């Protein structure tokens, strides 16, 4: 049975890396909702479509897109992936209680995943790393300015190992921003995880401190793909 994996963790815990590793191993789809929305509002059809051009204006101004719209397109895409019988991997999303559980008028993503994958096939992977480690990793994080690949902590040099593009720092990884992102993570994500636990969704807490390939092995054991 295909599974829906939701990876949560503080900044620097390696959510994106772990999602990519799972994607490669199991031919799963890594559903990066942020990137999906960005591509959608910048697609050629967006110019002709009223709703998409409205959302594009919000997106380009750095304002959050309309939550009910984000939820709907996320749900639709998750359904398409499920119908194609692929595992889906989310990293860091659903981000808000609304996105996860919706309201009277909007079905939440978790309920939609339960409907198409079956509740027993939803697994939350919670990557834990100490806050000090999170700050340290983010302070040392560089991103390739061309392909967006993060530099691995053990590799040195100013160029990307994949495409040799110049490495840059992300504004997001500014040491002053890290405490805010850590607090955001605790305040936004913990209630979502608690709610899913109440629903009977399986939560796997994994130590995210070791090297990525070791964390990956632990996740694979915890998830028991079949
Ligand atoms: Zn690169």
- Domain ranges within the chain, ordered by starting residue: 4-130+183-223
Mean pLDDT of 105-124: 96
Residues around the ion ligand 1 (C-beta < 5 A) = 144, 146-147, 149, 160, 162-163, 165
Q: Phi/psi of residue 140, each to 5°?
A: -100, 10
The alpha carbon of 149 and the centre of ligand 1 are apart by a number of angstroms equal to 6
What is the rounded CA–CA span in Å between residue 145 and residue 151?
A: 11
**Cα-to-centroid distance, 151 and ligand 1 (Å):** 9
pTM score: 0.86
Cβ–Cβ under 8 Å, residues 87 and 3: yes
* pLDDT tens profile 146-159: 887 877 655 567 88
Q: What is the CA(152)–ligand 1 centre distance, in A? A: 12
User: What pLDDT sits at residue 151?
Assistant: 74
CA of 170 to the centre of ligand 1 (A): 14
Domain 4-130+183-223 has what CATH class?
alpha beta
């Amino acid at each position: 049975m295909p599974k829906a994996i939701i990876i949560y963790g503080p900044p620097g815990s390696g959510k994106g890396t772990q999602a990519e590793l799972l994607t490669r191993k199991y031919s799963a789809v890594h559903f990066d909702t942020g990137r999906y929305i960005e591509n959608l509002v910048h697609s050629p059809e967006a110019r002709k479509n009223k709703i998409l051009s409205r959302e594009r204006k919000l997106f380009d101004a750095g304002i959050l897109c309309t939550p009910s719209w984000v939820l709907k397109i996320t749900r639709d895409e998750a359904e398409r992936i499920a119908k194609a019988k692929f595992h889906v991997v989310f990293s860091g999303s659903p981000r808000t209680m609304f996105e996860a559980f919706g309201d009277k008028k909007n079905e939440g993503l978790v309920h939609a995943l339960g409907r198409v994958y079956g509740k027993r096939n939803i697994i939350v992977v919670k990557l834990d790393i100490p806050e000090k480690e999170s700050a340290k990793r983010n302070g040392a994080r560089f991103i390739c300015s061309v392909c967006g690949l993060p530099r691995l902590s053990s590799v040195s040099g100013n160029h990307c190992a994949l495409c040799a593009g110049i490495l840059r720092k992300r504004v997001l990884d500014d040491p002053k921003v890290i405490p805010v992102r850590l607090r955001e993570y605790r305040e936004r994500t913990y209630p979502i995880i608690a709610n899913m636990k109440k629903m009977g969704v399986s939560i796997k807490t994994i130590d995210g401190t070791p090297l990525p390939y070791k964390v990956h092995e632990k996740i694979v054991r915890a998830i028991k793909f079949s």
